[in-house]
Amino acid sequence: MINSVALHRVQNLDKAMVSFYAKEELKNDVSAYLELRQLQLDAVEDEELALASSIGKSMRGIREKHDNDKWLKEINKQDGQ
């Protein structure tokens, strides 16, 4: 049987892990988004507009998974590197 103090710690750990994984997912998605953006620019340069459009749809799907304010903060952080 878990006593109340231990249960409270487990609940806090669970919240911390959820937060950690959400932040990691955001970082990974922004990184993938930036890579796709470069591929999209390359496709436009090569006049592969259908490919550029398809890449753009994938980029939008990634971007829409996250809160806009958190997204902007992370993309500014990674894009500025």
Query: How many angstroms separate the Cα of 10 from the Cα of each of 3, 18, 20, 23?
Result: 11, 12, 15, 20
Instruction: Report yes or no on 40 lying in a domain.
Output: yes
**pLDDT reported for residue 7:** 67
How many other CB atoms are there within 10 angstroms of residue 51's CB atom? 15
What's the number of domains the chain is made of? 1
Per-residue confidence band for 69, with pLDDT thresholds at 50, 70 and 90: very high
Instruction: Report yes or no on 61 lying in a domain.
Output: yes
- Is the pTM higher than 0.95? The answer reads no
* Domain containing residue 28: 24-79
What is the residue-averaged pLDDT of the chain? 90
Per-residue confidence band for 5, with pLDDT thresholds at 50, 70 and 90: low
Residue position matching structure tokens 């980029």: 59
Nearest CA to 37 out of 51, 56, 21 is that of 56
How many other CB atoms are there within 10 angstroms of residue 40's CB atom? 19
Instruction: Report yes or no on 16 lying in a domain.
Output: no
Mean pLDDT, to the nearest integer, of 62-81? 93
Instruction: Report yes or no on 69 lying in a domain.
Output: yes
Considering only residues 21 and 9, tell me which one the structure prediction assigns the higher pLDDT: 21
